Amino acid sequence: MQMSFVLKKDRKTICSVKSTNAPTELSNELNIHTMKHMKVSGISMLPQFSLDPAPENSHEKHEWRRFLDFLHKYDMIAIADFEPYKFYILPPAKASTSTRVSVAYRIGKTCVVDSRPRDCESDNSLAGSHLAEEHRRPNTSMMRGPANGAEVCSSDPNCPQTDDCANHSMSETCDELKSKTHMKQDRLFEKNYIRADPSYLKTLGQAHSGWIFGGIAELVDNSRDAKASKLDIFVEMIKLKKSGKNVPMLSIIDNGQGMNHDEIVKMVSFGHKQPDKDVKDHIGRFGIGFKTGAMRLGRDVLVLTQTANSRSLAFLSQSLNEGKDNIEIPIVSYCRQGQQVEIDTAVQSEALAKNNLKAIKDFSPFDKYLIGEKAALFCGATGTQIYIWNLDEWGSGYCLEWQDGLFGGSSFHQGDIFVRSRRIRSRQGQVSLKVPLDFSLRAYLEVIFLVPRMKMFVQGTLVKSRPLAKFLTKTVVESGDILGNPVELTLGYSELEWEQGNCGIFLYWHGRLIEAYKRVGGMIHSADVGRGIIGVIDVTNLMDDKDGRVWVHNNKQGFQDSESYALLEEWLAKKADEYWDKNFDSLKLHKDNCIYKPDSEWVQCDKCRKWRMLPHNYDVEKLPMQWFCYMQPFGGQCSDEEQKMAPGTVNLSDKRSGYDCKHKDSDRIKMEGVTNASGEDERRVSFQIEETKPQVLKRLRRGPPSPNHENAKSRSPSSTKLYEEHTAEKRVRFEIEKPSALQRLRRGPPPSPNHENSKSRSPSSTKLYDENTAEKRVRFKIENTRPSALQRLGRGPPSPNHEDSKSRSPSSTRPGKVHPLR
């Protein structure tokens, strides 16, 4: 019976083969798991069958030639298992693309095999073959044969009977070989390999157990390293197949370069060799960021990535590996030509790809339709999509909390993702409880990069990046040298941080924030010392050792205890204290709770992502939502260099219109600073003192001040007259038809005897009412005024020359009598 199957080594295809005399019906593939050095004898002891190559393409033909050449040149035997059989592929006498090989086999445990004579000459090269690479690796399992060339396969005293090994002579040979081998001093040995238990996935997530945003930052770093220009982070609901429940799923999607099969295998592997070449803008170095970040966020993660000519799926799952002895990571790779995709048989067989795809569908909420829907998000371009579900829990909810933003662009209704606990991270000397970047993903992403180039969206709304060095006032740039490495520190004052009670240094490594609000010097010992002072420094040169060591924790949330870090702390403390003593306290920037703008206003181009400095006193509200370099007020090109603050300068910001603060009985101080082209500082401080007056409305309600009032003594007669005229003209008039008792107390005597309320009063209560009214009545003396007709009706007769006086009777125009307003 002729059968065909694929021969593989470590799940990598070697060649398709066929056989007519195999002892059993084999599956679609036969995987070689071990290559051993053996000088064998007694070939007749075990049965054999032959394998003929049947390559489907030139690649398989080439790999078959290399495989046979490898066996022939290094005198190796390839071992593969197919329960209950064990197959031994013997080295050929000569290697070629059409050479047939012999395969010895046994059932269960039996004795050893022997090789037949063969030609030792071979001119074929193994360069580039994965078999040759395995042979050259120092940790490859290799065995040296004993002196007689025999190998003992088992310590079982009973050799199972097979067709060719079921006679007495074979048993004697086995016993003889075993006794000789035990007497040898050079016993055979194999090197040990580790295996990763699935519980290790959960252990990886504990690298970010202190702060869950550290896990998200690892995935953001990968997008930046892939040179993505856009990154979307959001939480959506998805339905699980098995339970039928709707659960949240964290999605991280970028438009970077994507990954081919080898790159995605490298990404899901547990660590890799550090790059030989140090790239300044490249963050990833340890090879564990994706695993630690994803497993901190949730139990299961699916990666969908696409390059110009490939598309791959990878599934890292704790649910899939439950109860297993080793970690399985299904990967499916496709060749891509335009919109057409097909399984890449150069890296995996079609059977293996289908098996891996089935595992993904069974243990994830994704089916072929949802995978196709997500792949359509690439829009024919490149990128990577990461989906994480079964998110980490906190109490009865999840560690993450999210809210969608509202349309309209309001800064108060932007979408965000929060840490549910809202806890503040522990820092030396930290007393403030208002540190938004500790629990708000939006606030963290605003400052995560020293020079932000990538557009980031959280819950569908754009994160407005905030390069800290460009958002400070009274900026100073300090330079220094630590262990022969130049460092540059930018110090400045932030009104926002002052209000929140924060201060400290932001330390960046390869342009990525490692430590925030690090207090140094006097900041550690007092909450008020350095309040509002922010420093920004990039320590890449200092923390990357020349010997290749990196003094950064592998979770990228702190630095290791090293000489360079200790000296850095001392230098930062000295510079921060000098800045506080010389440049801040002496100028007393904070006055009457005024708000100070940065030294310079900046805007970022939406095309080249470079930052441009706006002119002095330019109104940033006039900028459009999307701004480009060719627009005003810059009017340049994207190729123009970014402006930078000259080192060693001190700028005192100008308190511009819109930022004025008016307070009662206080001085208003206006400060502005100009730095000329040569870097010299020109300070101009002007004081504008305005005396604020009591509000007019309060005076109208209270009436003119008494002669004994403390302010009345300081008024001149002319100012008193002007005050009374202004009061009469601005007086508020009320017309009340039925005033209450309280209103009558303030405005005049009780109503007439015919009033409806007067019938219920006794004479004694009326008398008491009149006395209280007389005591509490407020009299107004108005001189040289011409009140309106409504005022005259309530307060007295008009002048004899008034036009209305002609219609009144003589009794009603009696001078000096004031009619109360009812």
User: 421-462 pLDDT, tens per residue?
Assistant: 999 998 988 888 899 999 999 999 999 999 999 999 999 999
* Percentage of residues in the chain having pLDDT higher than 70: 64
Higher pLDDT, 384 or 697: 384
Q: Where are the beta strands (DSSP E) in 392-549?
A: 393-394, 397-398, 400-403, 416-419, 455-458, 461-462, 473-482, 485-493, 504-509, 512-518, 533-538
Q: What is the CATH number of domain 204-397?
A: 3.30.565
Would you state the structure tokens that stand for residue 300, as one six-digit string?
């299961």
Percent of the chain at pLDDT exceeding 90: 35
For residue 696, name the pLDDT band (cuts at 50, 70, 90). very low
Say which residue the tokens 């409305």 belong to.
Answer: 697
Tens digit of each residue's pLDDT (9 = 90 or more) over 489-542: 999 999 999 999 999 999 999 999 999 999 999 999 888 889 999 999 999 999
What is the C-alpha end-to-end distance of the chain, expressed in Å? 121
Q: Give the model's confidence band at 692: pLDDT under 50 very low, under 70 low, under 90 confident, else very high.
A: very low
What pLDDT shows up at residue 651? 54
Of residues 658 and 392, more confidently modeled: 392
- What is the average per-residue pLDDT within 626-641? 90
Where exactly are the structural domains of the chain?
A: 2-107, 204-397, 467-584
DSSP line for 73-129: HHTEEEEEEETTEEEEEPPPSS--TT--EEEEEEESS-----PPP---------TT-
| Nearest by Cα to 391 from 293, 292, 299 | 299
Whether pLDDT at 777 is above 50: yes
What is the 3-class SS of 500-535, one letter each residue? HCCCEEEEEECCEEEEEEECCHHHHCCCCCCCCEEE
- Residue type present at position 815: P
Do 352 and 340 meet the contact criterion of CB atoms below 8 Å apart? Answer: no
DSSP conformation class of 622: G
Cβ(206)–Cβ(291) below 8 Å? no
pLDDT at residue 406 in the model: 72
pLDDT tens sequence across 41-60: 455 567 888 888 888 888 88
Quick one: average pLDDT of 82-101? 82
Give the class (CATH, top level) of 467-584: alpha beta
Class for domain 2-107, per CATH? mainly beta
For residue 171, which amino acid is it? S
Task: Please give the model's pTM, rounded to 2 decimal places.
Answer: 0.57
Q: Among the residues of 412-494, which ranges form H helices?
A: 441-447
Angle between helices 289-297 and 213-225 (to 10 degrees): 140
520 and 505 Cβ atoms separated by less than 8 Å: yes
* Sign of the four-CA dihedral 288, 293, 298, 302: negative
According to the model, what pLDDT value does residue 662 have?
A: 40
Backbone angles phi, psi at 388, to 5 degrees: -125, 125
Residue predicted with more confidence, 229 or 85:
229
As a whole number of angstroms, the longest Cα–Cα distance in the chain is 157
| Confidence at residue 478, expressed as pLDDT on a 0 to 100 scale | 93
Reply yes or no on whether the pLDDT at 253 is more than 90: yes
User: Is the backbone of residue 767 left (phi > 0), alpha (psi -120 to 50) or beta?
Assistant: alpha
Same fold, 2-107 and 204-397: no
What's the full length of the chain, in residues? Answer: 822
User: Which position has the higher pLDDT, 673 or 269?
Assistant: 269
pLDDT at residue 772, rounded to an integer: 58
Report how far residue 281's alpha carbon sits from residue 511's, in angstroms, rounded to the nearest whole number. Answer: 7
Q: How far is residue 196's CA from residue 261's CA, in Å, rounded to a whole number? A: 22
